[in-house]
Amino acid sequence: MQLIRTIADLRTALRAERSAGKTVGFVPTMGYLHIGHLTLAKHSQLNCDVTVVSIFVNPTQFSPNEDLAQYPRNLPHDLKLLEEQGVDYVFAPEVDEMYPDGSGKTSTYVDVGDLSSILMGALRPNHFRGVATVVSKLFNIVQPDKAFFGEKDYQQLAVIKRMVTDLNQPVEVFGVPTVREPDGLACSSRNSLLSAEDRAAAIILPQAMQLAQTLVDQGERSVSVLHQAVLDKLQQEARGEVEAVDIRDAETLAETAELLTAPAVLLLTVRFGKTRLIDQHVLRF
Ligand code: PAF
């Protein structure tokens, strides 16, 4: 495995791989890796000749009042995990390498329109603009054939797919199912920021999603009934502050009719102390 710090070095290394006829798979991450990230890398390794994982905590997707400084980091541990898994390249640039004026900002942003401003985009203005911008930059640097993203960040995946379509970016984007801890909580780097009590309480998210699926399995199709049931369940856990419960069309993220006729995605955002957890479940019937 090669650790690469500069754009020029990565381009040189990947040019050689492509000249040898190798396909390139790419997994962008912000580090503090867990089994969910390693699963994305595994998908890339199974589907491409060469796998690149980037580790970069991207300042443009955090608002000034958000947890950029607190975001967990542990590059040596990340490198050990990726080495053990047999990943080919890790690209871990400094902020100045990605945003050369030193401010962690850029003049040119990629804005994916309405999809970026609804749902989590309403809670975190400019978040998806920062994600789309850095992922575009990374796609330009890595020029992957395929890129892999977790379905846990459901809206992020939708934003990136739309961006790739709208900008004709020559990369195939794949969503990979959410990997969960044994008790059902979705793996997330932010889980490490939870106190032991909040970590225990956080299983209310998968429990609420399970409840919604059970109701759908029993024939419930009313979005308002499902919404209320999920909200009531989440509110049983006093440690969590419910920020959002949304049921949207699973394909387009558009609002659904009151009675579901097609798969819908349940999107949850719950805050435990300062840590915001998100999760998603596609309600199928
Ligand atoms: O999902 C993440 O970790 C980040 O949003 C991403 C896609 C690596 C962009 O910074």
Going along the chain from its start, the domains and CATH numbers come out as: 2-176 (3.40.50.620), 189-283 (3.30.1300.10)
Buried b (16+ CB within 10 A) or exposed e, 105-130: ebeeebebeebbbbbbbeebebbbbb
Side-chain-side CA neighbours of 279 within 13 Å: the count stands at 26
Sign of the CA dihedral running 264, 162, 105, 125: negative
Residue nearest to atom 6 of ligand 1 (CA): 29
Q: Is 98 in the pocket of ligand 1 (CB under 6 A)?
A: no
Residues in the chain: 285
Q: Is 135 in the pocket of ligand 1 (CB under 6 A)?
A: yes
For residue 261, count other CB atoms closer than 10 A to its CB. Answer: 10
Left if phi > 0, otherwise alpha if psi is -120 to 50, otherwise beta: which for 32? left
Q: How far apart are CA 151 and CA 265, in angstroms?
A: 11
Q: Is 178 in the pocket of ligand 1 (CB under 6 A)?
A: no
The predicted pLDDT at position 178 comes to 98
The predicted pLDDT at position 99 comes to 97
> Can you tell me which residue has the tokens 């502050």?
241
Q: What does the pLDDT average to over 213-225?
A: 98
The answer to whether residue 244 scores a pLDDT higher than 80 is yes
> Can you tell me which residue has the tokens 């209320």?
228
Could you tell me if 234 and 204 are in contact, meaning their C-beta atoms sit under 8 angstroms apart? yes
Q: Is 134 in the pocket of ligand 1 (CB under 6 A)?
A: yes
Could you tell me how far CA 250 lies from the centroid of its own chain? 16
Report which ligand 1 atom has the smallest distance to the Cα of 150.
1
Q: Which of 34, 37, 43, 227 is catalytic?
A: 37
Q: Is 30 in the pocket of ligand 1 (CB under 6 A)?
A: yes
Side-chain-side CA neighbours of 216 within 13 Å: the count stands at 25
For the chain, how are helix, strand and coil distributed in percent, rounded to 5? 40, 20, 35
The predicted pLDDT at position 36 comes to 98
Coil/strand/helix, residue 56: coil
Q: Is 60 in the pocket of ligand 1 (CB under 6 A)?
A: no
The answer to whether residue 106 scores a pLDDT higher than 80 is yes
Q: Is 58 in the pocket of ligand 1 (CB under 6 A)?
A: yes
The answer to whether residue 273 scores a pLDDT higher than 80 is yes
The answer to whether residue 102 scores a pLDDT higher than 80 is no
Residue nearest to atom 5 of ligand 1 (CA): 131
Look up 77 and say whether it is catalytic: no
* DSSP type of residue 259: B
* pLDDT tens-place string over residues 68-90: 999 999 999 999 999 999 999 99
Angle between helices 127-142 and 154-166 (to 10 degrees): 60
Q: Determine the distance separating the centroid of ligand 1 and the alpha carbon of 247, expressed in angstroms.
A: 23
The answer to whether residue 60 scores a pLDDT higher than 80 is yes
Q: How far apart are CA 3 and CA 114, in angstroms?
A: 37
Q: What does the pLDDT average to over 96-108?
A: 91
* pLDDT tens-place string over residues 23-45: 999 999 999 999 999 999 999 99
Report which ligand 1 atom has the smallest distance to the Cα of 189.
3
The predicted pLDDT at position 104 comes to 85
Q: Determine the distance separating the centroid of ligand 1 and the alpha carbon of 162, expressed in angstroms.
A: 16
Q: What does the pLDDT average to over 199-213?
A: 98
pTM above the 0.95 mark?
Answer: yes
The answer to whether residue 220 scores a pLDDT higher than 80 is yes
Q: Which of 135, 148, 160 to mutate to test the pocket of ligand 1 (most atoms within 8 A of CB)?
A: 135
Q: Determine the distance separating the centroid of ligand 1 and the alpha carbon of 260, expressed in angstroms.
A: 31
Q: How far apart are CA 248 and CA 271, in angstroms?
A: 21
Could you tell me if 242 and 276 are in contact, meaning their C-beta atoms sit under 8 angstroms apart? no
Q: Determine the distance separating the centroid of ligand 1 and the alpha carbon of 197, expressed in angstroms.
A: 27
Residue nearest to atom 8 of ligand 1 (CA): 29
Using pLDDT thresholds of 50, 70 and 90, give the confidence band for residue 281.
very high
Q: Is 155 in the pocket of ligand 1 (CB under 6 A)?
A: no
